[in-house]
Amino acid sequence: MRHPSMTVRLIMAITVAVCLFWAMAVALSIVIMHEEYGEIFDSALQETALRLAPLVVDDLQRQPDMHEAINLHPLTGFTGDGYLTYQVRDATGKVVMHSHDVTTTPFDAPLRDGFATSERYRFYTVSANSGALYVHIADLLAHRRQALIEGGQALLLPAVLLVPVSILLVWLVVRRSLLPIDRLRGAIADKDSGNLEAIEIAELPRELRPIARSVNNLLARLRSAFDSEREFAANSAHELRTPLAGALAQTQLLIRSLEEGPQRSRAVQVNRALTRLTALTEKLLQLSRAEAGIGASADAVNLVEVLDSVVEDFKARDSNGRPIRYHSPANAALVRPVDPDAFAIVIRNLVENAITHGEPDVPVTISFDGETISVTNGARAMTMGEIAAMRSRFTRGKRAGPGSGLGLSIVERLLTSMGAQLTLTCDPSATDATPVEQRDAALFCAQLRFDGGEAAAV
């Protein structure tokens, strides 16, 4: 994972730490067991030798004429290997008595009292009869190693259950502990230009409250900045409307009063500039309303009725010489909880874009088939990069026209508050690598889809 989560890191770190501590504890326990087992086994060797020596001396004194070593078998008939074996040797080193599970070959042990160790055995030797006899008690080192291994395994076996149980418990504890962080992360992730409400701090733990307070302070400053921006745009648009309308009316009167000539041409240019400025002012007012989030409504309305009204309005006025075609079935309906004025602004901007930037020889077609509303216009084939750039503010198409570059931005913002999505499409035959002069004319289309409802394409 390039960016592992905090939960995974904590689980892995704690699990590895538990395993390491458990391994260290087991290793220390094995060292201690090795020392303790050695003392226990050595004590058993010594006690056995001290108890056996008098019995051996007494038994050998009853058999003074011995020509070979005596092999003592257990009375119970046991013939397996014992943990302790012994040999009795005389002063010359000859074996005169031994247990049933060893041979007459002398042990590799010195003829002196005390402990000794060979490659296979641990010995304890005790002398008897004034040094005439030596009793060797031997313990296999393999038995000691086996006991140590079995003890270590008994300590390691719980780790087989400890590790997965530790992972599960750590995951549960860490997940519960980090739940407030997840809630805070989700609350911050939900914040955008349409949702700048303060984060609830009361339920957050003490460590996270400073973060939430800082985010709330930042959100408050953003709300203030956005409100100021919207208020400025709305007030400016309102304040400019009256003087612009007056100036436009005076300019039109001036044009009518002037005869053909340079003065009239200049007045016509001023009239065009004032007309563009009036349209831009109207767009800024629409943008401020869109930023205020007027798209959603508590009451559901039939959007087809709004569409009919907007289309009839466009048909009744001049559309730059482009015919407008409208097709809709009788009694059609598209009911959504959308503000009708906001939806009218969306349709009006899309149709205006089609009229302003469409090819003059291709009619603007508006249709509704019961599920889909569509507005199409002729356009030069565009690449996906060019289509994506048109969503930005003050970005216009390649075709010259009086547009302000705000129409699609207003549509995007309103559709967001309506819970809808806008998709722009054009002729797919054009690519980013296709030269401009080789791009054919196509039909431009903007698609609209409401979330959780029927799809609509505009």
pTM for the model stands at 0.47
Q: Do the domain assignments include residue 185?
A: no
Query: What are the backbone angles phi and psi of residue 114, rounded to the nearest 5°?
Result: 115, -175
310, 430: one domain: yes
Place of tokens 């039939």: 302
Out of 292, 323, 347, pick the residue that ends a domain: 292
Q: What CATH code is carried by the domain that includes residue 112? A: 3.30.450
Residue 306 sits in the same domain as residue 437: yes
The reply to whether 341 falls in a domain is: yes
- The verdict on residue 168 lying in a domain is no
Q: Does 258 share its domain with 319?
A: no
> Tens of pLDDT along the chain (458 residues)?
566 677 778 878 888 888 888 888 888 888 888 888 888 888 888 888 888 888 877 777 776 665 566 666 555 555 555 678 888 888 888 888 877 767 778 888 888 888 988 888 889 999 887 778 888 888 888 888 888 888 888 888 877 777 788 778 888 888 888 888 888 888 888 776 556 788 888 888 888 888 889 988 988 888 787 677 667 766 766 677 778 788 888 888 888 888 888 888 888 888 888 888 877 777 777 777 676 666 677 678 888 888 888 888 888 776 566 788 888 888 878 788 888 888 888 888 888 888 887 777 788 888 887 777 788 888 777 777 777 777 766 565 555 455 566 777 788 778 777 777 777 877 654 444 445 444 456 778 877 777 654 444 44
CA atoms within 13 A on the CB side of 399: 18
Question: 335 with 414, same domain?
Answer: yes
Q: Which residue has 């040999």 as its token pair?
A: 87
Q: Return the number of other C-beta atoms located less than 10 Å from residue 236's C-beta.
A: 14
Task: Report the CATH number that the domain containing residue 426 is assigned in CATH.
Answer: 3.30.565.10
Q: Give the closest residue to 450 by CA, choosing from 410, 409, 422, 408.
A: 422
Domain extent, residue 61, equals 6-73+81-147
* Interhelix angle 262-291/407-418, nearest 10 degrees: 20
Q: Are residues 302 and 224 in the same domain?
A: no
Considering the domain architecture, whether residues 298 and 438 belong to the same structural domain is answered as: yes
Domain assignment present for 138: yes
Whether 13 and 139 map to the same domain: the answer is yes
Give domain status of residue 163, yes or no.
no
Q: Are residues 285 and 319 in the same domain?
A: no
By CB neighbour count within 10 A (0-12 exposed, 13-18 middle, 19+ buried), where does 124 fall? buried
Residue 165 lies in a domain: no
Same domain, 351 and 361: yes
- Is residue 456 situated within a structural domain? no
Tell me: do 248 and 359 sit in the same domain: no
The answer to whether residues 141 and 49 belong to one domain is: yes
Number of independent structural domains in the chain:
3
**Which residue, among 444, 447, 451, has the nearest Cα to 423 in the 3D structure?**
447
- Residue 170 domain-assigned (yes or no): no
Whether residues 53 and 95 fall in one domain: yes
Distances (CA, A) of 30 to 119, 153, 156, 266: 21, 10, 11, 104
Q: End of a domain among 91, 122, 147? A: 147
**CATH number, domain containing residue 226:** 1.10.287
> Of 237, 265, 292, at which residue does a domain stop?
292
Joined together, the tokens standing for residue 277 give: 């400025």
